[in-house]
Amino acid sequence: MSKIPISRRQFGALAAGTALTAAGLVSVETAAATAAVPGPDARVATGASAPGPDARFATAFEVAGDQGARTGFGALYGLRDTGELTWNKFDILRADGSTVWSAPKVIATGWTGLVHLFADNIAIYTIDASGALRWHSYSAPSTGDGQWATGSGAVIGSGWQTMAKVAYAGSGIFFAVDGAGNLRWWRHTDPSGGAATWADGSGRIIDDGWSDLHALAAAGGIIYAAAPSGVLRWYQYTDTWSGQGSFHPNSGSVIDDDGWQLATSLRAGFTSPWATLRTLDAGSTLRWFRHLDPLEGGSSWDPRSGAVAAQSWPR
């Protein structure tokens, strides 16, 4: 398999409660019963500071494939310092992997004080500085002209501030690394309706030794982990439904050897037969990558990977 050096991919330089499980989360039933649901324009805690680095973008939907002038299209959510949540449609050009954007649409306000923002085409999840995990549902992730579902903003879990890193894999599945370096699994069983219900065993430890971690992203059972040294490692977990699986024998493979410590936020999506990764750095540069072997963990990348998607994010 070919290995494309980070320099060729132009990553860019950067200037200097009741326990739900052993994870220590407060019972989601208790949290849901006691939390007031915010209104349409104040769906998260207010009176707090600008969003953290991992709360600035999330994927609404994405389609990949080299067709015509495009190699992909979709939409991202962006969270501004003002608390405005924006919907941003994009086309990725086939020629060089650059991104063309439509005008952003503001779809919510009052989203302040967040430390994590995750989404797919079913649900949006937010975690604030207090560790409250909230569920939201937007009716039109493909057009940006939707409405918010009743109950959006409901607290479905607490205690997430104890997790050192959190990744959302889609379909209600979360992976997180706790303070002791344990990798834990959860599955929210109602991502379409927002009921505070979780699969049996949610929060269970599925691996250890994850302390050497800078950034974490997941798509289904595929997990990408960036180390402080800059290397990017690939893992595949076999049972995202019940959290009782094992890891692919190639798990832990280094699929790139430099530059990933520059990412302040990392997101992944499986757009068969490839995986799409996006990074945001401290200079607010958003970049696009395509991993060509997400099912076996080979170090093969689209040569257009590393293309700048936006120089200043959020839009």
* Domain assignment present for 48: yes
Give percent of the chain with pLDDT exceeding 90: 83
Asked if residue 81 has pLDDT above 90, the reply is yes
Q: In this model, does residue 172 exceed pLDDT 60?
A: yes
Residue 121 lies in a domain: yes
Structural domains of the chain, count = 1
| Residue 152 domain-assigned (yes or no) | yes
pLDDT given at position 42: 41
Tell me: pLDDT of 1 over 90. no
Q: What percent of the chain is predicted at pLDDT more than 70?
A: 85
Dist. CA 258–CA 184, nearest whole Å = 26
Mean of per-residue pLDDT scores for the chain: 87
**Strand, helix or coil at 105?**
strand
φ/ψ of residue 18, rounded to 5: -85, 130
What's residue 24's pLDDT?
30
User: How far is it, in rounded angstroms, from Cα 34 to Cα 225?
Assistant: 35
- 191-219 per-residue burial string, b: 16 or more CB within 10 A, e: under 16: beebbbbbbeebbbebbeebeebbbbbbb
Q: Is residue 236 situated within a structural domain? A: yes
Residue 25 pLDDT more than 60?
no
Write the CATH number for 223: 2.115.10
Q: Is 281 helix (H, G, I), strand (E, B) or coil?
A: strand
Res 23 pLDDT > 70: no
Q: Does residue 57 lie within any of the structural domains? A: yes
**Mean pLDDT computed over 203-216:** 97
Q: What is the pLDDT of residue 84?
A: 98
Among the residue ranges 7-11, 220-224, 253-257, 263-267, the one predicted with the least confidence is: 7-11
Task: With respect to residue 65, please indicate whether it lies within any of the assigned structural domains.
Answer: yes
* pLDDT score of 48: 55
- pLDDT, position 49: 78
68 is in which domain, residue-wise? 28-265
Worst-scoring range by mean pLDDT, 17-31, 35-49, 130-144, 161-175? 17-31
The answer to whether the Cα torsion of 131, 137, 141, 146 is positive or negative is: negative
Quick check: 185 and 199 in contact, CB under 8 A?
A: no
Span 200-207, average pLDDT: 98
Q: Which residue from 73, 59, 101, 72 is spatially nearest to 267, judged by alpha carbons?
A: 59
The better pLDDT of the pair 15, 238 is held by: 238
The answer as to whether 279 is a domain residue is no
What's the average model confidence in pLDDT over 221-232?
Answer: 98
Q: Is residue 274 part of a domain?
A: no
Would you state the pLDDT for residue 21? 27
Residue 71 pLDDT level (bands cut at 50, 70, 90): very high
The per-residue pLDDT for range 32-56, each reduced to its tens digit, is: 333 333 333 444 444 457 899 999 9
- 106 phi, psi to nearest 5 deg: -80, 120
